[in-house]
Amino acid sequence: MKIVEKTYLYMSRATYILYVLIIFGLWNRAPHYLENVFFFINLFIGIVFVVYFNPLSKTKFKNYHKTMIFWAGVALITNLSLDNIWEKTLELKKDIEDDTKEVARKAKKEVTSHGTFLINIIKKIYVDIKGFLLNNNEKSKESVKQNISKLYDFVFGQPKAKENVIKLISKSSS
């Protein structure tokens, strides 16, 4: 009986130590060993249960039996839960990474599309403004010619005005 108690006690302590190592990230191989310890604890508890608690034996419950049964249940639940939590966490991490890549790819495509659209609009506006200014500049030159011509007509008379306007415009163009 003492062997069973001591074996269970040492296995339990090994489990606690491995949990501490895992929680604080002190040893990256601890999960592997914890899995092995859980296997042997489950095997050991199964053998103890079959030997001591079979219908043919008349075992009297002692305190360590109650403790062993309680912690066996906790170990089974914890083993199943931690494995599930670990697997679900890894799956969730992978899903988040995949979704993030997909969102980034779509966002890049949208930004590129909108950027191209905006660049094309800016080019069109530039061409339109440039054309407007060129057309407006030609109209403006004609208007200036007409006004200067009228001023010269008024000041010097008609024949001299045309000569001076032509000279003036050719000087401003060069």
pLDDT of residue 150: 67
Q: Are residues 41 and 87 in the same domain?
A: yes
Residues 6+ apart with CB under 8 A from 11: 37, 40, 41, 44
Q: From CA 111, how far away is CA 118, in angstroms rounded?
A: 10
What is the pTM assigned to this prediction? 0.41
Q: From CA 44, how far away is CA 8, in angstroms rounded?
A: 8
Q: Are residues 54 and 103 in the same domain?
A: yes
Q: Are residues 124 and 162 in the same domain?
A: yes
The token pair that represents 74 in the structure block: 């906790």
Domain count, the chain: 2
End-of-domain residue from the set 84, 107, 130? 107
The token pair that represents 95 in the structure block: 């899903």
DSSP track, 82-123? HHHHHHHHHHHHHHHHHHHHHHHHHHHHHHHHHHHHHHHHHH
Question: Tens-of-pLDDT digits for all 174 residues of the chain?
Answer: 588 888 888 888 898 898 888 888 888 888 888 888 888 888 888 888 888 777 787 777 777 777 777 877 777 777 666 667 777 777 888 888 888 888 888 888 888 888 888 787 877 877 777 676 667 666 666 776 666 666 666 655 665 555 665 666 666 555
End-of-domain residue from the set 59, 83, 107? 107
Q: Are residues 150 and 123 in the same domain?
A: yes
The amino acid occupying position 154 is F
Q: Are residues 155 and 88 in the same domain?
A: no
pLDDT of residue 145: 67
Q: Are residues 9 and 79 in the same domain?
A: yes
Residue range(s) defining the domain that contains residue 58: 2-107
DSSP track, 27-57? -TTHHHHHHHHHHHHHHHHHHHHHHHSSTT-
pLDDT of residue 59: 74
End-of-domain residue from the set 82, 107, 132? 107
Q: Are residues 23 and 44 in the same domain?
A: yes
Q: Are residues 45 and 126 in the same domain?
A: no
Q: Are residues 82 and 131 in the same domain?
A: no
